Amino acid sequence: MRTNLFGFAAAAAAALAAVAAPTSAAARDVVAFESYYPAGTVVVVTHQRRLYFTLGYGQALRYPVGVGRAGRQWAGATRIDGKYIRPAWAPPPEIRRDKPSLPAVIPGGSPHNPMGVAALTLAGGDYAIHGTNVPRSIGGNVSYGCIRMYNEDITDLFARVRVGTPVVVVR
């Protein structure tokens, strides 16, 4: 009986570590997160360059992110209005004005597509939470307002959220 109990405890610890442990470049972890947001809410804290997925009971999954450059950050409440795997990207007019050499559309899966492996579009704007083809940009103020994540992390978050999930961005 003692051997079976030890084996069960070891298997449970390994399973928990597999869920909470980051993979490769990903850096998500379970952290204390006291807030009034209900479980299942995405909270982006831009000055920390972190995204939190609330789990309830004072905990959240924390992911490092890249956020908007100076003058391009925003704050507010919205929701996820679309989920896309390997999305194509059409640069908005503001980006095309700053970078006129960009094509009208960059196909999904292209190494030049800044959306990475997946995107969660946000209601009421031109913003998304998405992967990246430039992993070194994570942790910086780098975008035109979108929230960038490691591809491994957006894949993880993508599986946890649904269309309609609330998103709160605070500075």
pLDDT digits (tens, 9 = 90+) for 19-53: 333 444 456 899 999 999 999 999 999 999 999 99
pLDDT value for 26: 54
What CATH number has the domain bearing residue 118? 2.40.440.10
> How many structural domains comprise the chain?
1
Entry pTM:
0.83
Contacts of 14 (CB under 8 A, 6+ apart): none
Catalytic residue among 130, 132, 148, 149: 130
Q: Between vectors from CA 67 to CA 79 and to CA 157, what angle results, nearest 5°?
A: 50
Q: Which of 146, 147, 149, 154 is catalytic?
A: 146
The pLDDT value given to residue 149: 98
Domain span at residue 53 reads 2-170
Confidence tier at 124 by pLDDT (50, 70, 90): confident
pLDDT at 9: 38
Known catalytic residue at 130: yes
96 has a pLDDT exceeding 50: yes
